[in-house]
Amino acid sequence: MLLLTDRCQDEGRIKRDLGLVRRCRVVTPHAPFRRGADHALIVSDLRLDNFVQVSLLRSALSQYRQSGQPFLCLLHEVTHRALQQANALGATAVLPIDASREQLVSTALRLLQEAGASGAGMACDDTRELAARAGLVLVEMMDAVRDGHPLDKRLLLEGAEFVLEAIQSAGVRQWLDLVLQHDDNTYQHCLLVAGFAAAVSVSLGFHSKDRGRVTGAALLHDIGKALIPQAILNKPSRLSSEEMAVVRTHTQIGYDMLKGQDTLDDELRSAVRNHHEFLDGTGYPSGLRGDQIPDLIRLLTICDIGSALIERRPYKSPLSVPDAIAEMRRMNGKLDHDILDEFQKAVFVG
């Protein structure tokens, strides 16, 4: 997607919300035109009560917009004049600039589906919508803990159901393909881990309640990163040792945030705290080893590492899924190889 804005210092919320649907590129309308990949959807938050801005937007649309491409116009003031101007610019849909995250994501999904839903594409659209819905749950949980509010376990299980529905209907490979289009590293990672965990729980024939439990734990596992500075989490280069030490605090931070919440059980809190532990005792934060690490944590650790290995970062290339599994098999003594075998079966069957 393409976001046309002149508020590059303030566009974070809109870009983040659109990023729940697919990767979003930000361009200022007065910047020199640079042809990139075609964009499935163009969004603008430029004011339409200013002649200069309208002219800039019209020029940008003439350069970036392809025939039949949907255009979503975000209005600072929903007036008759603004609506007329949006229509004159060829807007496919309009929303107020302060539309909720749910409204923005739902509208973007609808426009994408209307522009290209047919045949196999409809299955892809369904999976994209489920991924976006799960992402909305994740964002809502992150926002809740940042604001000091308790987590709603029903919301967590609802998010897990979105992931499970996608995995069961379309398979883990399509899930990976779509989630890897996300912009935000943390949301992308949590959705990848949840997809892997869901695939394993389905492959092993877990009952519905246990599938939700495993997938929910995966969705929640990095909740502590809500309080880690975004500048560190989304840093475009390799982290320094000091920054890595800050990131490693997310497990204890997450646990501390959840330990007083009666609606969440000890198993979920343990998943948040211990998903970086290794069987040989070299993990963190407690250096647990062997039988001290239950099966759920062993599975989440594998899903977590597998996801990290296939993710693209500016400082590293992503591994393919087979190469990621091979890399994990070389981690002698750290991972449960029986569970890794099940992980491999689930991923390749899916």
The CA distance from 232 to 307, in Å, is 19
| Cα distances (angstroms) measured from residue 129 to each of 103, 106, 126 | 13, 8, 5
- Measured N-to-C along each axis, helices 208-220 and 185-203 cross at an angle, to the nearest 10 degrees, of 160
Contact 277, 283 (CB under 8 A): yes
The CA distance from 72 to 3, in Å, is 9
- pLDDT at position 262 over 90: no
DSSP of 117-142, one letter per residue? Answer: --THHHHHHHHHHHHHHHHHHHHHHH
Question: 90 and 142 share a domain?
Answer: no
pLDDT, tens only, 131-144: 999 999 999 999 99
Question: 142 and 92 share a domain?
Answer: no
Domain end call among 71, 93, 114: 114
| Cα distances (angstroms) measured from residue 81 to each of 54, 78, 96, 138 | 12, 8, 14, 37
Question: 73 and 145 share a domain?
Answer: no
Q: What's the pLDDT score for residue 294?
A: 98
Sort strands 2-4 and 93-96 into parallel, antiparallel or unpaired: unpaired
Question: 78 and 197 share a domain?
Answer: no
At residue 282, the 3 state secondary structure works out as coil
Q: Is the peptide bond before 285 cis (omega within 30 degrees of 0)?
A: yes
119 pLDDT band (50/70/90 cuts)? very low
Q: Note down the domain range covering 46.
A: 2-114
pLDDT, tens only, 185-205: 889 999 999 999 999 999 999
The CA distance from 212 to 197, in Å, is 10
| Residue 2 β-bridge partners | 25, 42
The CA distance from 113 to 100, in Å, is 20
Question: 195 and 321 share a domain?
Answer: yes
At residue 99, the 3 state secondary structure works out as coil
What is the CATH classification number for the domain harbouring 250? Answer: 1.10.3210.10
Question: 177 and 273 share a domain?
Answer: yes
Q: Which residue has the higher pLDDT, 10 or 207?
A: 207
| Cα distances (angstroms) measured from residue 79 to each of 48, 49, 56, 85, 154 | 10, 10, 20, 10, 39
At residue 82, the 3 state secondary structure works out as helix
Q: What's the pLDDT score for residue 268?
A: 96
Residues in the chain: 350
The CA distance from 321 to 344, in Å, is 9
- pLDDT at position 254 over 80: yes
Q: What's the pLDDT score for residue 117?
A: 44
| Phi, psi for residue 280 in degrees, rounded to 5 | -90, 5
Question: 137 and 229 share a domain?
Answer: yes
Question: 75 and 133 share a domain?
Answer: no
At residue 270, the 3 state secondary structure works out as helix
236 pLDDT band (50/70/90 cuts)? confident
243 pLDDT band (50/70/90 cuts)? very high
At residue 19, the 3 state secondary structure works out as coil
Q: What's the pLDDT score for residue 36?
A: 60
pTM of the predicted protein model: 0.85
What is the CATH classification number for the domain harbouring 18? Answer: 3.40.50.2300
Q: What's the pLDDT score for residue 338?
A: 97
Question: 72 and 147 share a domain?
Answer: no
**For the chain, what is the mean pLDDT?**
92
